[in-house]
Amino acid sequence: MRAEARSVSPARGAVLIVPAALEIPPAAVQAIVSYLQAGATVILESGAGFAAGREFRVHRVELRDYLRVRVEAPVQLWSAHTSSQGIPYVDYSWPHSAKVRDFSRVVPLGPQAGDVIAWVDGLPVALKRHGGRGTLVFLGSPLGPALWAGDAEARRWLFDCLGEAGGCAEPAIS
Instruction: Give the residue among 131, 139, 140, 128 at the shortest CA–CA distance from 164.
Output: 128
Let me know if residue 172 belongs to a domain: no
For the entire predicted model, the pTM comes to: 0.87
Q: Are strands 15-21 and 41-46 parallel, antiparallel or unpaired?
A: parallel
Confidence of residue 50 (pLDDT cuts 50, 70, 90): confident
Let me know if residue 60 belongs to a domain: yes
Let me know if residue 8 belongs to a domain: no
CB atoms closer than 10 angstroms to residue 151 = 19
Q: Could you tell me the residue range of the domain that residue 55 belongs to?
A: 15-165
CATH number at 53 reads 3.40.50.880
Percent with pLDDT over 90 in the chain: 71
Q: How many domains does the chain have?
A: 1
Choice between 139 and 105, residue whose per-residue pLDDT is larger? 139
Helix/strand/coil (H/E/C) assignment for every residue in 9-66? CCCCCCEEEEEEECCCCHHHHHHHHHHHHCCCEEEEEECHHHCCHHHHHHHHHHHHHH
